[in-house]
Amino acid sequence: MRYSKQRELVMQQVEALQDHPTAEEIYENAVKQCPGLSLGTVYRNLNSLVEAGRIRRVPIPGQADRFDHTLRWHSHLYCTECGEVSDVMLDGTMLQGLLKDQQAEIKDCVMTLLGRCPRCVGAAEQKAAPVQPEE
């Protein structure tokens, strides 16, 4: 990955705006320091930074993705009242307690695991070729 002023600026903004900004918010702040910057470039750079593992993507169901400078594993609480997204430190054993938490009022939990299903893992073991490989 080659250096670019725009990418470093995007990286800086994700670090500066600690409140899980959207691409749009990052753009609005970054364009002040780099007039002419385009939203498309912000999206492209967010994608490469996520791919490079320098930032994390935080998908909020039904809304624009948000981005997070914190790399360590954690969940997010989207407040259905004020719309704020806050960090929730969570490592498995804490989940059960969390769901009964007194402070936050958890109404629902949207969790999607990404990985390979048992069928694909099994297929790879046996033939080193996956079931229905795609793009």
Partner DNA sequence: CTTATTGCAAAACGTTTGCAGGTTT
Partner DNA sequence: AAACCTGCAAACGTTTTGCAATAAG
Structure tokens, 115: 């990985």
Minimum separation from the CB atom of position 112 to DNA (A): 14
Nearest Cα residue to 67 out of 33, 103, 17, 105 = 17
Minimum separation from the CB atom of position 32 to DNA (A): 13
Say which amino acid occupies 113. L
Whether residue 56 contacts residue 98, with contact meaning beta carbons closer than 8 Å, is answered with no
The site for a copy of itself (CB under 8 A) is made up of 57-62, 65, 73, 75-84, 86, 88, 90-93, 95-99, 103-121, 130-134
> How many angstroms separate the CA atoms of 12 and 132, rounded?
40
The site for DNA (CB under 7 A) is made up of 1-7, 22-24, 34, 36-41, 43-45, 47-48, 62-65
Instruction: Answer with the entry of a copy of itself, DNA, none that 107 interacts with (C-beta below 5 to 8 A by kind).
Output: a copy of itself
Within its chain, how far is the Cα of 6 from the centroid?
Answer: 20
Q: Which is nearer to DNA, 18 or 38 (CB)?
A: 38
Instruction: Answer with the entry of DNA, a copy of itself, none that 5 interacts with (C-beta below 5 to 8 A by kind).
Output: DNA
Within 10 angstroms of residue 78's Cβ, the number of other Cβ atoms is 18
Minimum separation from the CB atom of position 20 to a copy of itself (A): 11
